[in-house]
Amino acid sequence: MKRAPFTEPILHVDMDSFFVEVERRDDPSLRDRPVAVGGTGDRGVVASASYEARANGVTSAMPMRYARRLCRDLVVVSAHHAKYRQASEDVFSIFRSFTPLVEGASIDEAFLDISGLRLHYEDPEQVGVEIRSRLRAETGLPGSVGVARNKFLAKLASETAKPDGLLKVAAGAEVEFLHPLPVTRLWGVGAATSAALERLGIATVGALASAPVETLRRHLGSTMGTMLYDLAWGKDERPVDPDGAAKSISVEQTYEQDLADRSLIEAELLRHCVKLSGRMRRVGKLGKVLAVKVRFADFETVHRRLTLADSTNTGRDMFRAGVALLADIDLDRRAVRLVGVGMTDLSDSTAPRQLTTHHEWENVADAVDQVHRRFGDQAVLPARLAATSESISERGVS
Q: Which is nearer to Mg ion, 13 or 232 (CB)?
A: 13
Q: Which is nearer to Mg ion, 162 or 293 (CB)?
A: 162
Q: Cis omega (within 30 of 0) on the bond before 163?
A: yes
**Min. distance of Cβ 18 from Mg ion in angstroms?**
5
CA distance 147 to 129: 10
Q: Which of 311, 333, 331, 332 is nearest to 321 (CA)?
A: 311
**Min. distance of Cβ 162 from Mg ion in angstroms?**
8
Site string for Mg ion, 96-135 (x = CB under 5 A): ------------x---------------------------
Radius of gyration for the alpha carbons in the chain, expressed in angstroms and rounded: 24
**Min. distance of Cβ 359 from Mg ion in angstroms?**
45
Q: Where are the beta strands (DSSP E) in 107-233?
A: 109-113, 143-148, 166-168
Number of chain positions touching Mg ion (CB under 5 A): 3
Q: Which is nearer to Mg ion, 19 or 152 (CB)?
A: 19
Q: Tell me the pairing of strands 46-49 and 35-38.
A: antiparallel
**Min. distance of Cβ 108 from Mg ion in angstroms?**
4
Q: Which is nearer to Mg ion, 21 or 266 (CB)?
A: 21
Site string for Mg ion, 207-246 (x = CB under 5 A): ----------------------------------------
CA distance 8 to 113: 9
Site string for Mg ion, 6-25 (x = CB under 5 A): --------xx----------
**Residue 293 burial by CB count (10 A; 0-12/13-18/19+): exposed, middle or buried?**
buried
CA distance 374 to 377: 9
* Residues classed as catalytic: 109
Q: Which of 186, 211, 192, 213 is nearest to 200 (CA)?
A: 211
**Min. distance of Cβ 117 from Mg ion in angstroms?**
24
Q: Which is nearer to Mg ion, 14 or 266 (CB)?
A: 14
CA angle in degrees (0–180, nearest 5) for 162-23-142: 30
Sign (positive or negative) of CA dihedral 210, 213, 219, 224? positive
Residues within the interface to Mg ion (CB under 5 A): 14-15, 108
